[in-house]
Structure 1
Amino acid sequence: MRKDNIMPKRILVTGGAGFIGSHLCRKLLERGDEVLCVDNFFTGTRSNIEELVGNRRFELMRHDVTFPLYVEVDEIYNLACPASPVHYQFDPVQTTKTSVVGAINMLGLAKRLKVPVFQASTSEVYGDPHVHPQTEEYWGNVNPIGIRSCYDEGKRCAETLFFDYRRQHGLDIKVVRIFNTYGPRMHPSDGRVVSNFIVQALRGEDITVFGAGDQTRSFCYVDDLVEGFMKMMATPGEVTGPINLGNPNEFTIRELAELVIEITGSGSKIVTRPLPQDDPKQRKPNIEKAQQTLGWEPKVQLREGLEKTIAYFDGLLKGVAA
């Protein structure tokens, strides 16, 4: 039996060797479930799930979700897709295919097996928002032909597919929109603001801030996010989402840079560069639905989460297992 006295389930996690996916795999195993981790290792790494490989309830499969998958499972978490600009812009056509064809394949699998399927969507579906904070009812302000569109529009189309499968086939779907998430096992070269700042500070390099640094983000620690995932999957069938998951505490990018410098004790200086195309000016979730529907809200505040993340990167850069 699992910790919650429920019979263990066999759970598929696509993108399971990635940053968030590896944390989810661990939590599911800790709960007592069996986990089938599927990843093509484009951005995921074996080191993220290395300690899980010896677990008899953990299975690893190298597979690209743009190809059909024939397995038997009780639940599906679809996390497969590069999620940072440096990675999803490397091969934008493949990024769109991963979101769209990958969603079709996972939905088809869920339909055949008659099991719940979870979609890790993104706050990027809101684009550069005209509504602040962003509620789930906001349709967004997205450039459909920009350099970020492969990810933004790919995830928007995936949501469309999920809800059409729900309407057409009665599928049990769960859709969450992830806001900026950070924590151990982030890729050090993923180009995201938290990993960038930490790596630059630990190396004593200038910290690169785009624009004046007055654009805002809300940062959610990965453990909080994964808890939200599992709460969402446990909801009754009529609960479909989309539901925002993120930390509503808002910080400017410059404030983040200053906090990283303070915690690391680095002598790094802040330098500015021009803003990238279509970079959102504000990003903050309204999480009332998550609070009311899931009984969820983040617990880890930014300083505490940064301290844990900095310790991980410090060990990584020194070649020490963290």
Structure 2
Amino acid sequence: MVVVLDTGLLPMSERIAAAQDLLADNEIPSINQFGAVAGQLWHRFAVWDLGEGVHATQFIGTGLSVLRGAAQLRVAAPERVGLGVQLTGSGTFEHCGADQIIDVGELSLTDGTSTSAYSSNGVGGSKVVIFDYDQLALPVETVRSAATKLKSSPLYGLVTAHIAALGEQGDIEPGSARIMLKSATTQLVRALITTAADDPRQRGDLHDTLYLRIAAYIEQRLWDPGLNPDQIARAHNISVRHLYNIWSARGIPLSQWIVGARLEGAHADLARLGRGTPIGAVACHWGFTNLSHFARRFRGAYGMSPRDWQRANDQP
């Protein structure tokens, strides 16, 4: 994500005005108040454009309250939906007739056509993905219904992790990768909303996100040498044949995809951990039970042995 404002770099007398101007220029109309904690006053904002009608914002600082009352709703502004994850600290959220405490790792859903009030408690931060309504193609009533029932969705954990990770690996240039990321994010959030609201569209949305859900399931279990198609299919209530069809449609066999993901993880760890970590321990961590097999596959993928790669990245 790109930091667009860090008020800690400004004179104290200019910080609140700079933050007010930023939100007034970039987000939907609201009353924003910025607070101090233990004599400190600073706020950092970052943004990430995922494509037309979808962007992410991240905030961390010493206190922020955002109020959208009836007066703000009357101001012409894009009709939007925001899905946020609390990254640090906690916040209070009043919306759609419910008062919520949002703790670290929890989601909050905002219908921009309804009144709402959010306030962070102490030093805290959150990341919010904001969609124009036409991107999600859902009625306002469905979004409002889901706002107070997000945890009932089977996708809650997956979407939480996805939103928290957005933008953490740096920016993505415009092109096919960013288009796919926008599509995946939109599909996941739409499926979260329809399943939480028990909307009739949920069956189609769950089908559309099946590949993403299976991929996340596999990535969380790459360490398990017993991971196999039967286990994966059973966890998602589909046949092994259907599972293979899903992957073949993407041009890579399932077993090859799993080995490739494990190799990528081991490749990154060997570079990060250096020669102090045994290669066998890294291989085992990523689900390889045979060190010779691991070394052969690693050389085939990266053109050098695990030991040579480890040495090449060892810090002096």
Normalised TM-score (structure 2): 0.24
Q: Higher strand fraction: Structure 1 or Structure 2? A: 2
Q: Higher helix fraction: Structure 1 or Structure 2? A: 2
Normalised TM-score (structure 1): 0.24
Q: Which has the larger radius of gyration?
A: 2
Choose between structure 1 and 2 for higher RCO, CA contacts under 8 A separated by at least 6 residues: 1
